[in-house]
Structure 1
Amino acid sequence: MTNGHHVRVDNRGSAIEDYWPLLCLVIVTALGALALSAGFGDLTLRGLMHGYMGLFLLIFSLLKLFDLEGFKDGFAMYDLLARRVPFYGYVYPFLELALALAYLAFAVPTATYAATIALFGFGALGVVSALRRGLDIDCPCMGNVLAVPLSTVTLTEDAAMVAMALVLLAMA
């Protein structure tokens, strides 16, 4: 432990098994998005991305809401705003939920894409900072239900959400 933070001392986060819960979530979400898009007769890139992002954010917000207090505490360990404004940790899952519902409903798409870029772009900065500090925690991004290490995979998730929102914004 250094400066009150756990420092990575082993190879935790280096094996695929460490990310199995996340991999399952990604695969199931992709299948759900495909089924949703096919059911609505919208097998376009836009339809698939809306379905995927909506379902992904819906599941992630739900995982956080199972233990909101635990999420808030873990989130404050790496998120730049939650470290300074602890109440933000309570609000964040509801922001994800609102985005999830907006994607699934195709509601105010341009504002939804912009909000996604802002939320996940800013979140990525906190992950980069935590990784540079060597912080070794389970990522609160999956709530306290599933244990996945905070790592470059977390950063990739944030970057992927930003990239998909940018693609959708360009398509709008």
Structure 2
Amino acid sequence: MTHLYQVDGMTCKSCIAKVKSELLKLGEITDAEIQLTYPQARLTMSSHVSVSTLQKAVAKAGDYKITNAGGMQVHESGGDQSKNWLKTYKPLLLVFAFIIIVASMASFRDGDFHTMHWMHYFMGGFFIAFSFFKFLDLKGFADSYSSYDLLAAKWYSYGFIYPFIELGLGLAYISNWQPLVTSVVTVLVMGFSSIGVIRAVMNKRKIRCACLGAVFNLPMSTVTIVEDLLMVAMGIIMIAGLA
């Protein structure tokens, strides 16, 4: 069986070597793939090893902490995979659900449902909510974002600027300020951001998705691609409707 874990405290190749060495000393672990990006440890076991046992092992290597990577396990049955998928993405699904409900309620005017109004409220709520989670740990977000975003990888400070861009877009949508300009900026920003996401997923990189900042350990997946491209598609629809 193979499990994925998050290991906090590693900063260099020396850390990787020390952590791997201690983990492989456990007889039940037959293989250990360690990296600096999330999830940092991919452990193959002949029999299950508890997290507390793993923690004792990595503690011998230094000031490191190992935890389950969002409850993810590789090579599970279909039922277990579905349960773990829901558990892993529950925060993201809840955020989307709340935004959809609020946007829908706000879009009913005089008994009629206005699609364009709904899109304004949805996108405004999306950007404001997602920027909020990023602001909770700006540095943590910047670290995660720089691991896959093309611009943040070359210009680390962009990771600190990006949440402000999202917040600005959210406020612009809610207040209906320059809707055409706002939609164009959305398409450009989210379209460019999606390139790094798509590349990471296509390369099967096991890293943390920074969409909800560093608060939740969400793995990068096609869910992230859909999220980004949905914003791009809605932005294009709004541009077409305003043109």
Q: TM-score if structure 1 supplies the norm length? A: 0.90
1:25 aligns with 2:95: yes
**Identical residues among aligned pairs (%):** 37
Which residue in the other structure is 1:101 paired with?
Answer: 171
1:145 and 2:196 equivalent?
no
1:31 and 1:37, CA in 2 relative to 1: closer, same or farther beyond 3 A? same
Determine whether 1:121 maps to 2:213: no
1:35 positional shift: 2.0
Measure, in 2, the Cα distance between the counterparts of 1:170 and 1:123.
Answer: 22
Shift >6 Å, 4+ stretches:
39-42
Structure 1 letter corresponding to 2:171: L
Hey, what's the Cα distance between the residues in 1 that align with 2:123 and 2:232? Answer: 11
Q: CA deviation at 1:6?
A: 5.5
Q: Return the offset for 1:38.
A: 2.8
**Does the CA contact (< 8 Å) of 1:6 and 1:134 recur in 2?**
no
Q: Which amino acid aligns with 2:197?
A: V
Conserved? CA contact 2:194–2:228, under 8 Å? yes
1:160 matches 2:230 = yes
Structure 2 partner of 1:110: 180
Equivalence for 1:49 = 119
In the alignment of these two chains, the number of paired residues is: 172
Q: Which amino acid in the other structure matches residue 151 of structure 1?
A: S
Q: Which residue of 1 aligns with 2:152?
A: 82
CA RMSD of aligned residues (A): 2.3
CA–CA distance in structure 1, aligned partners of residues 216 and 38 of structure 2: 19
Contact 2:172 2:179 in 1 (8 A): yes
* Alpha-carbon distance in 2 for matches of 1:167, 1:36: 20
Tell me which moved more, 98-107 or 145-154.
145-154
User: For each residue in 1:5-62, what CA deviation from the matched residue of structure 2 results, as whole angstroms up to 9, or x when unmatched?
Assistant: 5579626986232211111111100001112223697731100000000001100000
Cα distance 1:66–1:5, how it changes in 2: closer, same or farther (>3 A)? closer
Question: 2-side partners of 1:79 and 1:11: how far apart?
Answer: 29
Deviation at 1:139, TM superposition (A): 1.1
Distance in 2 (alpha carbons) for counterparts of 1:41 and 1:82? 45
The 3 A distance-change label for structure 1 pair 120 and 11 is farther
Amino acid aligned to 2:131:
S
> Which of 143, 162, 167 is 1:73 aligned to?
143
Identify which of structures 1 and 2 has the higher relative contact order when contacts are C-alpha pairs closer than 8 Å and 6+ apart.
Answer: 1
SS in 2 for 1:143: coil
Larger helix fraction of residues: 1
Q: Which range moves more in the overlay, 3-12 or 71-80?
A: 3-12
Which segment drifts farther, 113-122 or 17-26? 17-26
> TM-score, normalised on structure 2?
0.65
Distance 1:139 1:108 in 2: 30
Shift of 1:135: 1.8
For residues 68-89 of structure 1, the C-alpha deviation after alignment (integer angstroms, 9 at most, x for no partner) is 0100000000100000000100
